[in-house]
Structure formats: C-alpha cells, structure tokens
Amino acid sequence: MSTNPELNTAPLPLIPEPVSVRFGNTPAEDWVTSDPFGEVTVGVNKDLPRTDFSITIHKKGASITAGSEAALADGRNAFAQIVHLSAVRSQLAAAATVTTEQPSDPTYRIPALTLNDSPKHAWRGLLVDPARHFLPVEDLKRLITVMAVYRLNVLHLNLTDDQGWRFEVSGYPRLTEVGAWRERTVEGTPQFEGEDTFAEDRHGGFYTQDELRELVQYARSRGVTLVPGVNLPGHAQAAIAAYPNLGNFPERQLLVRETWGVSDHVLGTSEASFQFVRDVLEQVAEIFDSPFVHVGGEDAPLTEWERSPEARTRREEWGYSRESEILGRFITFAGEVLRDKGKRLAVWDSAALVRIPDDAIVLAGGEPKGVKAATSRGFQTVAAPESVLGLDRVQSRNEPAGAHPVLSLEDVLKASPLPKKLSDEHGKLVLGIEATAFGQFIPTARHLEYMLFPRLVAVAQHAWGSSIDTEELHERLRAHEALLAHLGVESRKILD
C-alpha cells in the first residue's frame, strides 16, 4: 500500500460515529507500519467505566485501552475498521496514480487520532435464518468478520423451523438424516390465486456439534456472541417429520415443509415431546456460550391441541381450561431447563401474551411499539421491529421476490427502532437492537449479503446509539462501499 502522505488529508468516515474523535493535524503525524494488528498495544484499565474504550494512534505506534474485556473487543474492532479504511484509501489513491513502481513491502499509513467511545446498547444484533435456507460455515464466518468491523456483537441463528433442522442432537440422528432435508422448495411469493411453483432441487444441510463449537470460538475471538434459536412448540414440522411420535398424531408421516407460512403441526403433549425439549436444550446450552437461548414461542396454532385426544386429556390433568395454556407450559418448561444449565430464555413478544418466566428476555418484533408493551410488563427487551429493521424486505419495487413492503436504505437510515415516548424506567429494560433477515426469500449466502449490505451498516449506527446526521451517515456509507468490497462482501450498490 502506498505511503503517499497526501492520502490522509481528510478524517476517516467511521461508522458507528464515535462519542469523540480528534484526528491529527498533518500527515507527518501518521503511523506508518507493515503490521498494525501485531504492533498495537492493548490493555484493560479497571478504573475506566466497563463499556468505555479509547484508541490512540501517533507516528510511533497505537494503543487500545478499555474498561473490560468486552469493551476491549469493541476497541479492537473499531481499530480494525480504522486500519481497513486506511488500506482502502491507499488502494483507491494508488489506483488513480499512473505509475509503474511496485511497492516492495505493503505498508499502512494510518492517520493519527485520539478516539473515545462507548455503546448505548449492549445487544447489537442480527438474526439470520439457516433453517429456511442453509448457510455454510465459511459464509457465516465471513459475516461474523464483517459484523465485528461494525461492532455488531450478537449473531442470532435461527437453527430450526418447519423447513429444516440444522444441527446434530445426540440421541436423535433422524433430525439430520430426515429433518435437515426437503425434497423441493416453493418459488417466489405465495400464490393466493392459482398454484405455487416449486424448485425441484433437494435442499438442506446441517452443522455438526464440533462445527458449531468452532464457530462459537471464532465469533468469540471477534467479540461476537452466537445466540442459538431453537423454535418450540411451533415451527416444529421438520422435527416431527423426523420423529412422528413428537407430534399430536404419531400415525401421520409428515414431510419437511416445502412452503412458507405457518404450519399447524406443533409438538405434542406426550412425555416424549417434553423429554425431546429437555435433551435438545441441554445440548444447545453445552455447545453455545451465549447466556441466552431463543425458543421463539410464537406461531403455535392451537388446532392440533384442540383435536388431539391426548392433548385434551393432558390439558385436563394439568387443570387448564384453554389450549393456549399448553403453549405457556412448554415455554415455562424450556425456561426451567435452561435455568438449570445457567442460561436465560428468550422469546418473541407474541409468546409473551401467555405466561412466561419472569426472567425471560423478550424480542419485540413487528412495530417499535412492541418494546413499550414488553418493558411495561417488566421484561428485559431487545427491539427487533421488522417494520424498520427487517432486512429480508425488498429494497425497491424492482427487486427479485422478497418480503414486503419495501424497506429502502433511506428507510433504515431514518428509522427509529425504539418508540419515541419511552420512559426512563422502561428504557433501562431495553438491552439493545436486532435486525432480522428471515430466509424464505434468501436462497444463498451471496443473496444474503446483497440484502444485508449496506443497510446493516446503518443498523450498526442505530445500535451503537451515538448521534449523527442522517445525510452525513449516507455520505459515509458511500465511502464504505469500497470497504465492504475490501472485506469480500458483494453489497447492493447505493443509488442516487
């Protein structure tokens, strides 16, 4: 990389915007190095607030100091963005220079600066959905690497759904032999008139427990926590296809679901079903280091419980008057299993309409007002409003099939993920923000990148919580197109 001092005449367009940053006055103050990641010094200073970090760069070197290991991870990731932006700036300048001279050793010219920062939100997340369309491990690693550069620190993996079961569970081999594969997949959006069309290719895949453990470690080393999503008792058709005795009508052999929408097939009320929940969650708790496990809890139609003789008998034994109380029993049971393993339960806010454990984490989807509803009941809450952070939604009217309505980059830039009127008391219960990219209309990892970027970079700014003008953020995003390409991301182009 070129060491031309004229390259660093403007501040780097950092995203998220730091709480404070002061750049050097002249290029003579820049740090020129061939190994910035190897030469930077790092350390924890317990006298600093736990979430604070600072970065200092001058001509003789660089240092990162933080109030905790978590803040140090944020500092390392902020430093990584500084290095990558400096590299991109040098590459662009070199490409614009007519020369036959080749540098003998690649070097970085990194601008002098003093940066102090701290996030507003502890949970800065993204949900992706390998259950609907499988995502290979290497693609998840690339996503984790890019998330870290933007200080997004939670990757929520939707690992099970009606359309696929995506990880090994000891004692249940048919989950991956049968539940991980569907013979065909509906194409496009649902047809309310006429017949659906299908791609006849077999689709599937799964992660071994060793692959997941290695992925957890990979993410941890980059300051990212993997939160597993295991849906129950709804979104369970793939599991029931593998083990019919887990359903309400064991004599029926289901297929792994080939269409989208909500399946009526939910876990049955037998002892085998509850033992299955225990076995799965205990193994998930051993694999993942996240303090939280998300069990969904939404989209559990009552139809089968109403029709099942066994479910009616069990409901009477339990003293319930409504089938919806069976849903609450599953969620409460899951919470007890996880609590015994040192974990906390997380659910969607629609599941919170039934009785759930007091220590549950609620992810508020739908509209931002869901945050107020959850916090008013005393639940710690993550704002995940699909209306403004649903990155599976098409970005214009001229896009391939996808979720609707349109959610453009400009919409995300102007978004308010939290309700405008949220009391201080309720605000203290907000853990953070999570964007969602459900996989129905995202068939490949590259398509996922197209849907995520650059909108996810704007989400990172919202999640960090510092103040920045929308137009200024839009201009910085243009500069980050080259950074995303540098990181190997095939992002959607920013259009005028």
pLDDT of residue 402: 83
Which comes out higher in pLDDT, residue 305 or 366?
305
Banded pLDDT at 195 (limits 50, 70, 90): confident
| Overall average pLDDT of the 429-457 stretch | 97
pLDDT of residue 107: 87
Is pLDDT above 80 for 4? Answer: no
Mean pLDDT over the full length of the chain: 94
| Overall average pLDDT of the 167-172 stretch | 99
The 3-state secondary structure of the chain reads: CCCCHHHHCCCCCCCCCCCEEEECCCHHHCEEECCHHHHCEEEECCCCCCCCEEEEEECCEEEEEECCHHHHHHHHHHHHHHHHHHHHHHHHHHHCCCCCCCCCCCCEEECCEEEEECCCCCEEEEEECCCCCCCCHHHHHHHHHHHHHCCCCEEEEECEECCEECECCCCCCHHHHCCCEECCEECCCCCCCCCCCEECCCEECCECHHHHHHHHHHHHCCCCEEEEEEEECCCCHHHHHHCHHHCCCCCCCCCCCCCCCCCCCCCCCCHHHHHHHHHHHHHHHHHCCCCEEEEECCCCCCHHHHHCHHHHHHHHHHCCCCCHHHHHHHHHHHHHHHHHCCCEEEEEHHHHHCCCCCCCEEEECCCCHHHHHHHHCCCEEEECCHHHHECCECCCCCCCCCECCCCCHHHHHCCCCCCCCCCHHHHCCEEEEEEEECCCCCCCHHHHHHHHCCHHHHHHHHHHCCCCCHHHHHHHHHHHHHHHHHCCCCCCCCCC
Report the top-level CATH class of 5-117.
alpha beta
Banded pLDDT at 185 (limits 50, 70, 90): very high
Banded pLDDT at 400 (limits 50, 70, 90): confident
Is pLDDT above 90 for 298? Answer: yes
| Overall average pLDDT of the 92-103 stretch | 49
292-296/225-232 β-pairing:
parallel
pLDDT of residue 496: 62
Q: 339 vs 26, 101, 241, 374, 418, CA distance in Å?
A: 56, 63, 29, 21, 29
Question: Who contacts 441 (Cβ-Cβ below 8 Å, separation ≥6)?
Answer: 189, 392, 400, 401, 402, 403
Of the ranges 106-110, 146-150, 213-217, which one carries the lowest mean pLDDT score? 106-110
Of the ranges 243-247, 325-329, 331-335, 400-404, which one carries the lowest mean pLDDT score? 400-404
Is pLDDT above 60 for 345? Answer: yes
Exposure string over 430-466, b if 16+ CB within 10 A, otherwise e: bbbbbbbbbbbbbbebebbbbbbbbbbbbbbbbbbbb
Is pLDDT above 60 for 423? Answer: yes
| Overall average pLDDT of the 63-71 stretch | 98
pLDDT of residue 102: 43
| Overall average pLDDT of the 100-109 stretch | 62
Domain boundaries, the chain: 5-117, 123-486
Is pLDDT above 50 for 181? Answer: yes
pLDDT of residue 362: 98
pLDDT of residue 97: 45
pLDDT of residue 196: 84
pLDDT of residue 106: 67
pLDDT of residue 188: 75
Instruction: Give which of 78, 54, 74, 49 is closest to 64, Cα–Cα.
Output: 54
List, for residues 119-140, the tens digit of each pLDDT value: 999 999 999 999 999 999 999 9
The 3-state secondary structure of 236-252 reads: CHHHHHHCHHHCCCCCC
Q: What angle do CA 181, 184, 189 make, to 5 degrees?
A: 120
Is pLDDT above 80 for 182? Answer: yes
Is pLDDT above 90 for 213? Answer: yes
Question: Domain 123-486, what fold?
Answer: TIM Barrel (3.20.20)
As a whole-number percent, the residues of the chain with pLDDT over 70 amount to 94
Question: Who contacts 151 (Cβ-Cβ below 8 Å, separation ≥6)?
Answer: 16, 74, 77, 78, 119, 124, 223, 460, 464
Can you tell me which residue has the tokens 């924890």?
A: 44
pLDDT of residue 99: 42
Is pLDDT above 60 for 7? Answer: no
